[in-house]
Amino acid sequence: DVRNADAVVLPGVGATRDTMAALDRLELSPLIPELLRSNVPFLGICVGMQVLADASEEWGTHPCLGVVPGRVCKLPDTAGKVPQIGWNQVRYDPDAPPSLLRGIPNGTDFYFVHSFYVDTPDATLVAARTDYGLPFPSVLESGSLAATQFHPEKSGRWGLALLRNWVDSVQGGQ
């Protein structure tokens, strides 16, 4: 039962509209924001990060979970090939490295598969950015919320280090 979970991971590849439909069907749409308000550790990966926004422009404008202010927007065609499929650098403020990236060198490449990104006005949520035609948030962190636009599970050694950092934080190992 997700309601009694010690932590939640929402991974995925796909469209926000389809993911929201599945979350609605499973009655998880109201539960995820409730869990975050209760400080249950949450890790969103790829579309699991995108559905946290207020709304998405993918396949027409539609509401998302509303946990992160902002919209899910399409990467610009000027970025090169869209979707972005492959390795790209993740950069953070070296004076304030995010806990997810603890021990991971600034500018490390992670594996991305996406056409859309979260455009949030809340800079305090943005823990790291990546450039692909424009700088976009690639890591969000706030309280019990952590999310990545890239796929740590496909990102080799550093992806495993990121997942270990998250598990350690859930287990109180910081």
Q: Which of 64, 73, 114, 151 is catalytic?
A: 151
DSSP secondary structure of the chain = -GGG-S-EEE---S-HHHHHHHHHHTT-TTHHHHHHHTT--EEEETHHHHTTEEEE-TTS-EE---SEEEEEEEPPGGGSSSSEEEEEEEB--TTS--GGGTTSPTTEEEEEEESEEEE-S-GGGEEEEEESSSEEEEEEEETTEEEESSBGGGSHHHHHHHHHHHHHHHTT--
62 is an active site residue: no
Q: Is 73 a catalytic residue?
A: no
The residue annotated as part of the active site, out of 27, 46, 62, 64, is 46
| Annotated catalytic residue 64 | no
For the annotated catalytic residues, the residue numbers are 46, 151, 153
